[in-house]
Structure 1
Amino acid sequence: MPLAMTLVAGAGPATPPGALDAAGWHHAEWHGVAPARFRPLPDGGVAVEGDGEGSFVWRRAQGGAECLSWRWRVDAGPPPTDLTRSHGDDRALAVAVGFAGWPARVTFWQRSQHALAQAVAGSHPLPRSALLYVWGGTGQEPARFPSPHMAGLGMVRVLRPAATPHGRWFEERVDLAADWRAAFGGEPPPLQELVIGTDGDDTRSRLQAQVDSLRFGPCR
């Protein structure tokens, strides 16, 4: 899948103005994949439903890399899939943070792939790197691994495998600066976007999930 179709693409056809836009979220689609259905939640998050579908919402973020906290739950989602592979890697939820700068050891090839994706995205500036936190997968994936769709510009952590009990809220808190250093080396660049996505098209899975109470703040 090209970089422009990944979670941090921020590309795709614009959705009509509505509740999502009023809440500050922008809905975007992957080429050739029917979009899931998102709606805003009272505390700034979103709920998503789908039947073998996938898409994502994004909003602007700014400031330095601090800690990000949220809560999430899955009531229905894909079965375990190998998230290190580029085909069949469905997941119930992903919370991704896009950054305005490159990894410390970015290559010419990576810059070229990003430039191709940017040409597809048009006027929307794409993040140059990303951290992705996932509910899904087998639970056997490495602690951190490159997204198979992002030309090495996105690093994935599985926080909750697909076998995590459904119907319960789970609290998360991640140190973005520490994760950046572990993933890419060097000091993290400024934040650019926050993205929430779901993907159930390969397994044709029913999706019902929520992410809420998203907060950036100091790590204590």
Structure 2
Amino acid sequence: MIVALGIASPLWACENPIPPFSGLDSLSDSSGWEALEFPKIDRLSEYQLVLEDGNRVVQATTSGSASGLITRLDIQPGDSLILRWRWKVSNVFEGGNAKAKSGDDYPARIYVAFEFEEDKAGFFERAKRSAVEVLFGETLPGNALNYIWANRLPVDEVVPNPYTDQTMMVAVNSGADQVGEWVTVERDIVADYRQAFGEAPPPLVGIAIMSDSDNTGESAMAWYGDIQLEGCE
């Protein structure tokens, strides 16, 4: 499929634009979250609100499946944009491998999508995107960062997704050492984008959670707590 580190606190912050799971009664479209599904994938991961240790979180279940939940955004990054979340997984995948299409599955990931920059794309890329947008009736994002609970990739390593170099995979947790534990992660999206793509990021258009196992056929559960974004203009 294509989709705990210490970071200094930002000097300024805005109201968090990401709907908190802890304040939701359901995951309907009116919650601010909607289904993220992919062409040619019929078996979907399951997402539901549950109480975990007294907190309302999203529980994801994947078994040979792939899909996510996305919240749409329109945010122009400044010099720093801090993304913070906490998550927990039941296990990692034995066949998982971020560098191979056959292993491109993760028990948990945060998918950060950016606006497509048409002026930087070649003719064939623009034509291909236009055809897909007509077919599916939706404007496609451009580059993306995927923060993953990696299966074997070393923490902090950044690699291109095996399906497309428009998506860069960032290992923020890896392996089974912290399986079954809540882990808090903080990342500076602007710094990570510059490292991954060598330039400043365009507008941020969406953030998704995703647990997938369509390539390996394995199974896992994950729990996602509230996701916070600080530093937006």
TM-score (norm 1): 0.79
Q: Is the 8 A contact 2:104 2:162 kept in 1?
A: no
1:3-152 aligned within 5 A: 6-7=2-3, 19-30=27-38, 31-40=40-49, 46-65=58-77, 66-79=81-94, 81-102=96-117, 106-122=121-137, 124-140=138-154, 143-150=157-164, 152=165
Equivalent residue number for residue 19 of structure 2 = none
Q: Is the 8 A contact 2:95 2:103 kept in 1?
A: no
Q: What amino acid is aligned across from residue 150 of structure 2 in structure 1?
A: G
The alpha-carbon distance between structure 1 residues 149 and 100, as it changes in their structure 2 partners (threshold 3 A), is same
- Larger-gyration structure (1/2): 2
Once residues 69 and 44 of structure 1 are traced to their aligned partners in structure 2, the CA distance between those partners, rounded to angstroms, is 17
**Alpha-carbon RMSD:** 2.7
Once residues 50 and 184 of structure 1 are traced to their aligned partners in structure 2, the CA distance between those partners, rounded to angstroms, is 30
Once residues 197 and 101 of structure 1 are traced to their aligned partners in structure 2, the CA distance between those partners, rounded to angstroms, is 21
Q: Is the 8 A contact 2:101 2:215 kept in 1?
A: no
Once residues 157 and 179 of structure 2 are traced to their aligned partners in structure 1, the CA distance between those partners, rounded to angstroms, is 22
1:105 shift after superposition: 5.9
Cα deviation 1:76-128 (Å, max 9, x = unaligned): 44225211112232211110111114399644454444334433431x22211
TM-score (norm 2): 0.75
Q: Is the 8 A contact 2:111 2:208 kept in 1?
A: yes
Identity of aligned residues (%): 25
1:64 shift after superposition: 2.7
Unaligned runs of 5+ in 1: 8-17
The alpha-carbon distance between structure 1 residues 146 and 168, as it changes in their structure 2 partners (threshold 3 A), is same
Which shifted more, 64-73 or 201-210? Answer: 201-210
The aligned length equals 203
Equivalent residue number for residue 199 of structure 1 = 212
1:172 shift after superposition: 0.5
Partner secondary structure for residue 119 of structure 1: helix
Once residues 105 and 186 of structure 1 are traced to their aligned partners in structure 2, the CA distance between those partners, rounded to angstroms, is 12
Equivalent residue number for residue 156 of structure 1 = 169
Once residues 113 and 203 of structure 1 are traced to their aligned partners in structure 2, the CA distance between those partners, rounded to angstroms, is 28
Q: Is the 8 A contact 1:93 1:134 kept in 2?
A: yes
Partner secondary structure for residue 82 of structure 1: coil
